[in-house]
Amino acid sequence: MVRRIASQVHKQVSRLMRVNYVKDEPAWYEAVLQFPPLPLPPKSPPIRHDSSRHSKLVPPKHKPVNIAYLEDEVRRQFFRDHPFEAFRPVSIVEGGAVAEEHPVQGKDWIRLSQHGKCPSPEDAVRFAVNLHKYHKVSLTVAYTRAVAEFRALRAEHDIASSFSRLEAEAYGATFPSEVDRTFQKEDMVYRAPERKRALDEGALLARKRWRAILSIDSGMGNTWSKGHEYARLQDQGVRPRHTYLDELSDSPSPRQEIAALSSGSQSASSEFLRMI
C-alpha cells in the first residue's frame, strides 16, 4: 500500500472498504473518525536574508559570437551615399529555381560592366568586396572605384534611355503616364459588356449564315421521313441542292479569273501587233 499522510489514512481505508477490498473494519477506525488527526500546517516560504538581495548576477560563460559580413558594412555606406537608390522598384518575385551566379567572379571580375550595362546597388557592393578580397585592394579604394563605375554606367544608361524615348516619339510612339494607363484600363472594363454583346451578335450571324437551308424544289420536302427519302434519292443519283453551295459552285474560282485575265491580255497584245 502506498504510504499516506496521517490525515489521509482513514479516508483511504473507507474507500477500500467501499469496494470490499478491506472486509474487516480495523479496530482504530471508529476512534479515528471521531477524533481525526490534525492537518499539517502549510509550508512556509524559505527565509531570505538581506545579503542575498544584493548578490551580483554572474554573467553566462558562453556568449554568442558576433556574426558580421563585410558586405553589410559596404552596403550601409553605399545607401548613405545614394539614399534614392532605396526607392528604385525591385522585383522580389522568386522563380521556380535559384538564379545561378554570374560566371565572371573572383580574379576575372575587374570591371563592374562585366555584370551588365545597368548594374544594381547589390552589384556595386559585391564588386567592391570582390576587389578587396581577390585583388588585394584596400576597402576604401575598392569602394571608391566601385561607386565611380556604378555612377558612370547609370549615367550612360539614363542618356541612352532618354535618346531612345525621343527617337520613338519621333516615329509616332506614345508613352502614357500611369494615370492615363489606369484610365485606359477602366475604359476597357466599362466597354467589356458592349464588346461581348457585339461578339455574341457576330457569332449568331455566323451560325445563321452557315445554317443548312433546303429548298422546296429539292424533292425532299419539309417533312421528316427518317432518312428514307434521302436514301431513295441517293440510289437514283439525285444530288441534294444547297443554295449557298450552288452559288459558290456557279461563281468562278480565283484561279479561273486569273487565267481569263491573262488570256484576255494575250489576245489584246496579238491584236495590237496585227494592226502594226
Over residues 20-79, the pLDDT tens digits come to 888 888 888 888 888 888 777 777 666 766 665 566 777 888 888 888 899 999 999 999
Q: How do residues 101-110 score in pLDDT, each as one tens digit?
A: 889 999 999 9
Given a cut of 90, whether residue 112 has pLDDT beyond it is yes
Given a cut of 60, whether residue 115 has pLDDT beyond it is yes
String of DSSP letters for 124-175: HHHHHHHHHHHS---HHHHHHHHHHHHHHHHHHHHHHHHHHHHHHHHTT---
Higher pLDDT, 4 or 24: 24
Given a cut of 60, whether residue 273 has pLDDT beyond it is no
Q: How do residues 196-253 score in pLDDT, each as one tens digit?
A: 888 787 777 766 655 555 555 545 455 677 778 878 888 888 776 655 455 555 555 5
HSE-CB at 123 with a 13 A cutoff on CA atoms is 21
pLDDT on residue 192 = 86
- With contact defined as beta carbons under 8 Å apart, do 215 and 241 qualify? yes
SS (H, E, C) 241-261: CCHHHHHHHHCCCHHHHHHHH
Q: Which three cell numbers stand for residue 92?
A: 522580389
pLDDT on residue 276 = 47
Given a cut of 50, whether residue 272 has pLDDT beyond it is no
**Phi (first) and psi of residue 117, to 5 degrees:** -80, -10
Q: Which three cell numbers stand for residue 109?
A: 571580375
pLDDT on residue 79 = 95
- The SS3 assignment for 181 reads helix
pLDDT on residue 135 = 92
Where in the chain are the domains?
A: 1-37, 70-84+103-171, 178-205
pLDDT on residue 267 = 52
Give the residue among 106, 101, 167, 164 at the shortest CA–CA distance from 131.
106
Q: How do residues 158-168 score in pLDDT, each as one tens digit?
A: 999 999 999 99
